[in-house]
Amino acid sequence: MKKNMHIRTLAIVVATLTSAQISGVATSMTEKHNVAYAAENSEQANDLSLQLSNAVALSVDSTTGQAVTPQPDPFTTKAIKSVYISGTERVGKTLTANVDYNTGVVIPSVKYQWLKCSSSNGTYHEISGATDSKYELDNADRDDYIKVRVTSTINDSDTITSSRTGDISKKSSSSSSSSKSSTADSDEIESDIRNADSNEIVTETIYDEPKIKQEVFETLQNHSDITLDFVGNDYEWIFKGKDIKDPSDLDGSLDTRIDTTSPNESDIKKLTNGVDVINLYFNHSGKLPGKAEIKYNIGSDYNGDLMYVYYYNDDTKELELVQSGARVKDGNVEFTIEHCSDYVLSKVPILGAKGNDNINNVVVTTQSQNQWKQLNDGTWQYIENGSSVKGWKYINSKWYYMNENGVMQTNWLYDGGKWYYLNSSGDMATEWKQLGSTWYYLGSDGVMLTGWICLGVNWYYLDSNGAMVTGSKVINGQRYLFNDSGIWQ
């Protein structure tokens, strides 16, 4: 029999019982819908667990004893709202299963099963051993499509399967950070440029030959109406002949490889203030022969997002905004550069970054009327239809709060009699949040919770300030013990 627990809202099952049977207070429910009663005397202190069928569930406030609105039954209420996959769909990369839950239900623990199929609309089969929330793609997944099935551990009928990924074979298993550094056949590329029709786009694949000789750009400079498109692994470089200024800036050749890890990664992380970013490290360092449009595949889960593009200045150790409103289409983000080093992509502005209007001779562009604007004091506003937004605003799938002056807020926010926490990047926190040595739990609506909460199969207690309790705690006159993770023992 489970321990008795006096929580604020208690589930009571009413059936045809004797007065002795109903003199206790129902306090918890087992997986078989048994009800454990808190004994009021030694006679009732014996293990008492009743299997009740066709019972009526009521909710009673333990303080007043008055009936209140019934809470969802975790055994019958579906908690899982949706499931989707994030990550780069390429061999060697890791996919992550993401779960959204319906509001007003007990959030259960879940189990995962990854699936795959050789055709997009065929029958998907379970991948042996792939039962974690993350799945690393390997060579066996080439030519396949991937899905993930998520099932509640409380209610087996509460299961949802995600949409499929793209064809993994289209995401080459050769990484852009490959050790191969062969030089492309410059004679062939130059011949293609010379023989191209006016205003033609000349496409050259450079998967295994990512280095381009300086001579290629000298030839392109003499054909101002030609566009040269280099297609590599997950990326493209697009140069227009009319934009080529000085091929000698290359000092011999251009290494087109782009990696997602960088020698400066630890320094860059210190500047991002906890914002989720994508690092792009260009193997070439220094100036380009002219303006280049970069296309990089960051994954289909970013489709439709507008990205902020930052340049990491290795001399000043600062992030500098070079472009806002870089839209992601078909998994590809596009932006323009004239200088190679480290670049950082973010869905939201990075506080503290240098907001120059012109960096490396690339004018900041905005492809949307609605945009973030950094003020001289370093604070941020969100501009919509020419005016700064005030109050709550939903931007790129996240909530932000702007005060009466339109300034984006961070840290704790008290609004409408409820507490919220806004991260350093301004987005509203949900679920667990550690501040210093203290843990808090914010609901899916961002509201800080207090009192008893049940997550999966574990119970936690949050004091009146929202802090998670550990160790021994007296609650409503009864002592409870919680481990270091806050779980009631």
Q: What is the 3-state secondary structure (H, E, C) of the chain?
A: CCCCCCCCEEEEEECCCCCCCCCCEEEEECCCCEEEEECCCHHHHCCCEEECCCCEEEEEECCCCCEECCCCCCCCCCCEEEEEEECCCCCCCEEEEEEEECCCCCECCEEEEEEEECCCCCCCEECCCCCCCEEECCHHHCCCEEEEEEEECCCCCCEEECCCCCCHHHCCCCCCCCCCCCECCHHHHHHHHHHCCCCCEEEEECCCCCEEEHHHHHHHHCCCCCEEEEECCCEEEEEEEEEECCHHHHCCEEECCEECCCCCHHHHHCCCCCCCEEEEEEEEEEEEEEEEEEEEECCHHHCCCEEEEEEEECCCCEEEEEEEEEEEECCEEEEEEEEEEEEEEECCCCCCCECCCEECCEECCCCCCCEEEECCCCCEEEEECCEECCEEEEECCEEEEECCCCEECCEEEEECCEEEEECCCCCECCEEEEECCEEEEECCCCCECCEEEEECCEEEEECCCCCECCEEEEECCEEEEECCCCCEC
Task: For the chain, give the percent of residues with pLDDT over 90.
Answer: 29
Residue 407 lies in a domain: no
Domain end call among 144, 170, 196: 170
Residue 383 lies in a domain: no
Domain end call among 145, 170, 195: 170
Does the pTM of the predicted model rise above 0.75?
no
CATH number at 254 reads 2.60.220
Is a pLDDT exceeding 80 seen at residue 477?
yes
Structural domain count, the chain = 4
In whole numbers, what is the pLDDT of the chain averaged over residues?
Answer: 77
Residue 400 lies in a domain: no
91 and 215 belong to one structural domain: no
Residue 389 lies in a domain: no
Is a pLDDT exceeding 70 seen at residue 309?
yes
Tens-place pLDDT, residues 279-306? 999 999 889 999 999 999 998 888 888 8
135 and 204 belong to one structural domain: no
Is a pLDDT exceeding 60 seen at residue 201?
yes
Residue 255 lies in a domain: yes
Residue 377 lies in a domain: no
227 and 317 belong to one structural domain: yes
311 and 360 belong to one structural domain: yes
Closest alpha carbon to 281 in 266, 311, 261: 261
What is the spatial order of strands in the sheet that 94-101 belongs to?
80-86, 94-101, 134-136
Residue 418 lies in a domain: no
Instruction: Find the domain containing 281 and state its range.
Output: 186-372
CATH number at 144 reads 2.60.40.2700
C-alpha pair distances (Å), 290 with each of 189, 200, 217, 218? 18, 19, 9, 11
Contact 172, 233 (CB under 8 A): yes
350 and 449 belong to one structural domain: no
261 and 326 belong to one structural domain: yes
190 and 337 belong to one structural domain: yes
194 and 325 belong to one structural domain: yes
Residue 409 lies in a domain: no
329 and 195 belong to one structural domain: yes
152 and 201 belong to one structural domain: no
61 and 206 belong to one structural domain: no
Tens-place pLDDT, residues 95-143? 889 888 876 556 778 899 999 998 877 899 999 999 999 998 888 888 7
Which residue carries 């990326």 as its tokens?
A: 235
196 and 314 belong to one structural domain: yes
Domain end call among 108, 135, 170: 170
Is a pLDDT exceeding 80 seen at residue 408?
yes
